[in-house]
Amino acid sequence: MAGLPQHIAIIMDGNGRWAELRGIPRTEGHRRGSERAKQIIEAARELGIKNLTLYAFSVENWQRPLDEVFTLMELLKNYLNAERDNMKRQGIRFMTIGNRDMLPGDILTLIKETEDATKDGKAMNLILCLSYGGRDEIIRAVRKLLKEKIDPESLNEDNFKNYLDTDGIPDPDLLIRTSGERRLSNFLIYQSAYAELYFTETLWPDFTKEEFLEAIQDYQKRQRRFGRVLESLRCIKS
């Protein structure tokens, strides 16, 4: 598939509303959403997407009802236990970004085990955002800079990226958000400066492989200028 984005980031939104529309608990919506995530991960690997980032649990999500937070953590544990060997076989490298200090100890142990088991994967990087917030990430990056007493005059966009959670990961080319909302919600706010945005009314549990392909095809039709005019881009390419 020509012109594939190197990095796709997804805000998986709408699990709760999906459940409420059907008169079932919000926790069931998260379970269905987890199943959908597995299908989209597989689709991305089959297509040859090199980096897939999923917004799984935000810093703000800790404020949700305890039963909902518990369900989300259990779904994560179940996924890591069930899929670790499969990811290793398929060459998927599992990674997480976010404020790990806020995660429970048993979750951290599973994350580290999965990261270690899949560290040699070359087919695709699967990046889960857990206890993540874009502003929180930037604040933590600045704290690292201050601790290292970096010369302010030496700081630029390239070396600042080294202090972000996404160090070593390319910026997203395509950012998808489901459920009809049209905002970033504190997701990769530094890295998404030039990402192509795709919004859909579809709630996450209903977001199929076919619509995933539609989003990629929509991306392939766009001209990415990064603030330049087309003529200057032609000169750079030539």
Q: Is 86 labeled as catalytic in the residue annotation? A: no
Q: Which residues pair with 128 in a beta bridge?
A: 54, 96
51 is catalytic: no
Distance CA 142, CA 123 (A): 32
Which amino acid is it at 222? R
Closest CA to 100 of 68, 63, 140: 140
- Alpha carbons 173 and 124: distance in angstroms, whole number: 15
Residue from 13, 136, 171, 173 carrying the catalytic annotation: 13
Out of 15, 61, 173, 218, the active site residue is 61
Catalytically active residues, by annotation: 13, 61
